[in-house]
Amino acid sequence: MADVTLRTYIFLDSLQPQLAAFIGTTARGFLPVAGDASMFIETAPGLVINRITDVALKATASTPAIMVVERAFGLLEIHHRDQGQVLNAGRAVLAYLGLTEQDRVKPRMVSEQVIRAVEPYHAQVINKMRYGDQLIAGESLFILESEPAGYIAFSANEALKAARVKLIDASLFGAFGRPAAPGPRQRARGRPRSRRPGPRPRETW
C-alpha cells in the first residue's frame, strides 16, 4: 500500500505481568494477561489501522487490546497465548501493506534521565498522573524517551524481564514515547544483577 509508513513493528514473546496489567488499566479492547505473546504495529497515517486490524483478525485468532486511530499516527496491539497466531497476524498485515519488517522506522533514543532518591512531594505528583505501580519516595526513577513511541513497549517489557523494577507509566503512542520505572538505585536501568563478585554496579535509575 502506497504512502504508508511502518513506524513500529515489534513482537513481544511473553508479556511481563506488570506490562500486561498496565495495558489492562489503560486499554479498551480485549485485555491480555501475563505470558501472552503480543505485537505492536504503528503506522502513519493513522486511518489505515482500521484496515490492518480487519486483516489481522480475519487471518488469525489474535485479539486486539489497543486500537488508536488519529490523523497522523495509528497504533494496533494484538495478542494471543499462541506466539504463532500473533506472528501470522503480523505477516498478514505486512503482506497487505506490501512492506517487510525491514521497512519499519529505526527507533531512536531521544533522551534518558535518572533521578536518584526521589523527593516525597515529587513522588506524590507523579503518582497522581500514573496508571501503573506507585512511586515511593527515596526510590530512583529512570525515564527513557524514544521515537517512534511504540518501541517503548519492547523496552519496558525487556527491562521488566531483566531487573527488579516497577512500571509506573508508559506512553506507547504518538510522536515520542516514554516509560517511567522506579527501583533500587543499582537496578534502575533494568540491568540484570551480576552473578560473579566484582565492582559495585554503576548507580542508575
Tell me which CATH homologous superfamily contains domain 5-103. Answer: BMC (bacterial microcompartment) domain (3.30.70.1710)
Predicted local distance difference test score (pLDDT) of residue 78:
97
Residue 104 makes CB contacts below 8 A (sequence gap 6+) with: 6, 7, 8, 9
Predicted local distance difference test score (pLDDT) of residue 184:
55
The order of strands in the sheet holding 169-171 is 108-115, 140-147, 178-183, 169-171
In tens digits, what is the pLDDT along the chain, a chain of 205 residues? 668 999 999 999 999 999 999 999 988 899 999 999 999 999 999 999 999 999 999 999 999 999 999 888 999 999 999 999 999 999 999 999 999 999 999 998 888 889 999 999 999 999 988 888 889 999 999 888 888 888 999 989 999 999 888 998 888 877 665 555 555 554 454 443 433 333 333 333 3
Identify the CA nearest to 157 among candidates 147, 172, 137, 135. 172
In the chain, what are the domain boundaries? 5-103, 108-187
Predicted local distance difference test score (pLDDT) of residue 185:
53
Helices 17-26 and 151-162, interaxial angle, to 10°? 140
User: What fold characterizes domain 108-187?
Assistant: Alpha-Beta Plaits (3.30.70)
Predicted local distance difference test score (pLDDT) of residue 175:
65
Listed in sequence order, the DSSP H helices in 46-184 are: 48-59, 83-97, 120-129, 151-162
DSSP 132: S
Where in 124-194 does DSSP place strands (E)? 140-147, 169-171, 178-183
Residue 33 in grid coordinates: 494477561
